[in-house]
Amino acid sequence: MTAVSGHGPWPGGERDVLEAQQTALGELAELPTGVDPVPFLTQLPQRGPGADALGRTAVLLTEMPVELGPHGWKLTERPGADARRAEAFWREDLGALAIAAHGHAGPLTVELLGPWTLAAQLWSARGDRVLADAGARRDLGLALAESVGTLVADLLAQVPGAEVTVQLAEPLLGQVHAGVLPTFSGFSRLRAVDGPAIVEGLEPVLTAVKGAGARSVVHLGSTWVGVPPVVLAGADALGLDLADVGPGGWNEKAWELVARATERGTGLWAGLPPVRVSQCAGPAVGELADLVSVPWRRIGLPAAQLAEVTLLAAPRKLLGSTDTHRAELSNLGRVAETLAEKAEA
């Protein structure tokens, strides 16, 4: 059946951790019959440093301490106060999940940054981005792989009946591949990373996810050129924000890559923009369903396989309110219901 999930970011401060997790789980439990909910670990980035995606992922790295410096998170000899705060946030989040998801058996997902976006955003102790040093980024990938296995074990300890999926966010993969990321000085660009190297960097992390008994999704945002490396590296599914590759901006090459991935057994997690709640702006439920179904049929994929797609909201710069996020999950349920009907037609 068509499923609905989320990336994890949710509005709220330090006192809202349990309430946020309960609200997200409750909203998913109210999805229409015939739509599969995929609960997710909520993240509250408004808590401050250490609650952001980069800090949350970096602090998990095995034997690679980090601290927050003037230019952002960087590797260091020993963790600083912000790293300890990030670790405390993880403990709070997992504790809230254990309470809110008590007795849960079934899908559960958590999102981290993938190895390439992590290497592109994390600074070395006395130099440029970790991405600039092939040896350092290799060590980073291996550390992330080990950390992922530990995280899956921690999730299963809190929710023993969970079937875990690890979402790896790679919004910068396209820029890594194109060689457009600036160096520390800003006067030059880091060298482009080719496809085989991208595959090599992803493989240890995806292998670790599988070895921990979990499934993997690599989110590319609108960077569809990263689809082949993700498939070759062995991801169970790929994530794409379809507003940029759907009917309104039909991209045949992008959808051909999606079709090839699907034919190889790689699933699709489709990121969608918000549903229109008034006549002012935004697409309606049917239009969002068409972002998936129209190119799906146009490229020749079987309609029945629409039932295997997972829908989630595309990442947003501003979190908005709790009511907005609740409405978004509810509306995605309506879109998923429409897709499920198209799959059965």
Residue 69, beta-bridge partner list:
72
Q: What is the mean pLDDT of residues 231-257?
A: 86
Query: How many other C-beta atoms can be found within 10 angstroms of the C-beta atom of residue 238?
Result: 25
Question: Is pLDDT at 305 greater than 60 in this prediction?
Answer: yes
pLDDT, tens digit (0-9, with 9 covering 90-100), for 55-71: 999 999 989 999 998 88
Give me the DSSP letters along 93-155: HHHHHHHHTTT-EEEEEEEEE-HHHHHHHPBPTTSSBGGG-HHHHHHHHHHHHHHHHHHHHHH
- What CATH code is carried by the domain that includes residue 76? 3.20.20.210
What integer pLDDT is reported at residue 14 of this predicted model?
Answer: 83
Please give, one letter per residue, the 3-state secondary structure of 274-343.
CCCCCCCCCCCHHHHHHHHHHHHHHCCCCHHHHHHCEEEECCCCCCCCHHHHHHHHHHHHHHHHHHHHHH
Mean pLDDT, rounded, of the chain: 93
Sheet holding 3-4, edge to edge: 36-37, 3-4, 310-313, 267-272, 237-241, 215-219, 161-169, 105-113
pLDDT, tens digit (0-9, with 9 covering 90-100), for 88-118: 999 999 999 999 999 999 999 999 999 999 9
What integer pLDDT is reported at residue 280 of this predicted model?
Answer: 45
Distance CA 92, CA 94 (A): 6
**What is the residue range of 155's domain?**
3-344
Give the lowest-confidence range in 8-17, 134-143, 151-160, 205-214: 8-17
Q: What is the mean pLDDT of residues 198-225?
A: 96
What integer pLDDT is reported at residue 247 of this predicted model?
Answer: 65
SS3 164: strand
pLDDT, tens digit (0-9, with 9 covering 90-100), for 21-44: 999 999 999 999 999 999 999 999
pLDDT, tens digit (0-9, with 9 covering 90-100), for 149-170: 999 999 999 999 999 999 999 9
pLDDT, tens digit (0-9, with 9 covering 90-100), for 68-87: 988 899 999 988 899 999 99
Question: Is pLDDT at 279 greater than 60 in this prediction?
Answer: no
What integer pLDDT is reported at residue 169 of this predicted model?
Answer: 98
Rounded percentage of the chain residues whose pLDDT exceeds 90: 82
Distance CA 170, CA 278 (A): 32
Most confident residue range from 155-169, 274-288, 315-329: 155-169
Strand pairing of 215-219 and 161-169? parallel
Provide the domain count of the chain: 1
Strand pairing of 237-241 and 215-219? parallel
